[in-house]
């Protein structure tokens, strides 16, 4: 018996009731992407029942969906990757992480400069591609790191790999992780290496996240306690600081992540849990306000879905969901506070409606029950047909 949880990073399906508090009332990532490109062609997700979750141009409801379908609300405050993934594993925040939309306080910048033993450039909120174009040449001339943030609780450090060795960039991030605690409890520090020349800078696949440690035990640690191996694909091991993970695989793209997932399914035939994050919806297309690229990524995933299905055994289960929205048609370049889709497929089951779940943690409770491990404190088990 194997369970696979695939997170389509940033693929929201409609604004939450409290979205106005975040400036996101009316956001709907997948519906707006479809509208922007004149309709999506997702025949396999359509067969699963995606068109029942929210109206999507080109993806109609079907008479007999193959999967259980619904959507989930995020109970924790916030709309960032850490919050969403932690809730999927059975944790819940009661206070949002600190954000700095106007840039970081002078005191924090001074602490970082002291730790890095160098000056810092930028200190503002910006998209990653924009910031390296604005400050890339000055960074290469001085060697000073580019430090920036977004509407999320994140401190990102960008450096050109020909100017600053990757090891130095990672060391700066480790220092920042120690500094950004307590008064400055920032959810993630992210290393953002890039290459190229002015006017054509490109971020590389050597990104590395330094998140806070999870708040208590969670689904992955419960699997570990029962000696059920957890395989992580993509940035999952960073998000959980490797807690509960038997073996992790970093990836360079969605396609790479899906190929790695299929390799694991071919090779690991015993009971296990695969936890997969496909980040390019968010990082390449959502944050860059590119609905066409987003649509192409969705269609690429849809084309791969039958290959995944063919690798499933009768007692396997595949869950597809998301961690937040990143509506590329929305003002700004940040995440959006949205419901996330929920599709649960088992070869032996009949599809049907799950309605609206009140917490992402329902996924954790369902997986824990399925594998006979301790159920996390948060979440209500989904009753599968």
- Which residue from 8, 1, 96, 6 is spatially nearest to 279, judged by alpha carbons? 8
Position 333 scores a pLDDT of 85
Share of the chain above pLDDT 70, in %: 100
Residue ranges per domain, the chain?
A: 2-93+215-371, 106-211
Per-residue pLDDT, averaged over 59-83, amounts to 96
Q: How far apart are CA 116 and CA 55, in angstroms?
A: 50
Per-residue pLDDT reduced to its tens digit, 299-356: 999 999 999 999 999 999 999 999 999 999 999 888 999 999 999 999 999 999 999 9
**Numbers of helices and strands, H then E, in the chain:** 12, 14
Q: 13-52 as b/e, with b when 16 or more CB fall inside 10 Å?
A: bbbbeebeebebeebbbbbbbbbbbeebebebbbbbbbbb
- Per-residue pLDDT at 151 exceeds 80: no
Residue 40 confidence (pLDDT) above 90: yes
| Cβ–Cβ under 8 Å, residues 229 and 248 | no
The per-residue pLDDT for 95 is: 84
pLDDT class of 98 with cuts at 50, 70, 90? confident
Average pLDDT over residues 48-74: 98
CATH of region 106-211:
3.30.70.1250
> What is the average pLDDT across 165-185?
94
What is d(CA 321, CA 13) in angstroms, rounded to the nearest whole number? 10
Can you give the pLDDT at residue 181? Answer: 86
Average pLDDT estimate for 204-218? 90
DSSP letter at 152?
S
> pLDDT value at position 205?
85
- Round the average pLDDT of the chain to a whole number and report it: 95
CB atoms within 10 A of CB 185: 12
> Would you state the pLDDT for residue 202?
94
pLDDT per residue as tens digits for the range 266-311: 999 999 999 999 999 999 999 989 999 999 999 999 999 999 999 9
**Residue 385 clears pLDDT 80, i.e. is over it:** no
Interval 217-237 mean pLDDT: 97
Nearest to 355, CA basis, from 130, 68, 36, 110 = 68
The CATH architecture assigned to 2-93+215-371 reads 3-Layer(aba) Sandwich (3.40)
Confirm if 45 and 362 have CB atoms less than 8 A apart.
no
- CB proximity list for 246: less than 8 A, separation 6 or greater: 224, 229, 230, 231, 272
Compute how many other C-beta atoms are within 10 angstroms of the C-beta atom of residue 115.
15
């Amino acid at each position: 018996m194997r369970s696979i949880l695939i997170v389509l990073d940033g693929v929201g399906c409609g604004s939450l009731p409290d979205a106005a508090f975040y400036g996101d009332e009316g956001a709907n990532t997948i519906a707006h992407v479809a509208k922007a490109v004149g309709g999506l062609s997702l025949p396999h997700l359509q067969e699963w029942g995606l068109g029942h979750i929210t109206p999507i141009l080109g993806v109609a409801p079907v008479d007999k969906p193959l999967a259980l379908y619904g959507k989930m609300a995020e109970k924790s405050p916030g709309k960032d990757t850490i919050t969403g993934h932690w809730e999927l594993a059975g944790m819940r925040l009661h206070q949002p992480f600190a954000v700095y939309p106007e840039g970081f306080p002078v005191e924090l910048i001074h602490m970082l400069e002291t730790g890095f033993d160098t000056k810092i450039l930028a200190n503002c909120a910006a998209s990653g591609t924009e910031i390296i174009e604005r400050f890339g040449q000055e960074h290469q001339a001085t060697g000073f790191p580019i430090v920036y943030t977004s509407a999320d609780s994140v401190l990102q450090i960008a450096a050109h790999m020909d100017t600053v060795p990757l090891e130095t960039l990672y060391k700066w991030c480790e220092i920042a992780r120690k500094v950004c605690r307590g008064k400055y409890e920032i959810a993630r520090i992210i290393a953002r290496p890039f290459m190229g020349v002015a006017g054509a800078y490109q971020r590389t696949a050597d990104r590395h996240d330094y998140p806070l440690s999870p708040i208590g035990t969670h689904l992955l640690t419960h699997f570990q306690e029962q000696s059920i191996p957890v395989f992580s694909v993509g940035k999952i091991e960073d998000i959980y600081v490797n807690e509960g993970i038997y073996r992790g695989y970093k990836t360079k793209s969605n396609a790479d992540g899906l190929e790695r997932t299929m390799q694991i399914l071919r090779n690991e035939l015993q009971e296990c849990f695969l936890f997969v994050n496909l980040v390019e919806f968010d990082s390449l297309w959502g944050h860059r306000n590119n609905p066409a690229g987003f649509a192409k990524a969705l269609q690429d995933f849809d084309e791969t879905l039958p290959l995944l299905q063919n690798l499933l055994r009768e007692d396997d289960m595949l869950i597809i969901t998301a961690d937040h929205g990143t509506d590329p048609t929305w003002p700004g370049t940040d995440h959006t506070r949205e419901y996330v889709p929920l599709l649960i497929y088992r070869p032996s089951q009949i599809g049907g409606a799950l309605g609206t779940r009140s917490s992402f943690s329902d996924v954790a409770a369902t997986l824990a029950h399925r594998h006979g491990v301790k159920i996390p404190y948060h979440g209500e088990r989904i009753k599968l047909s």
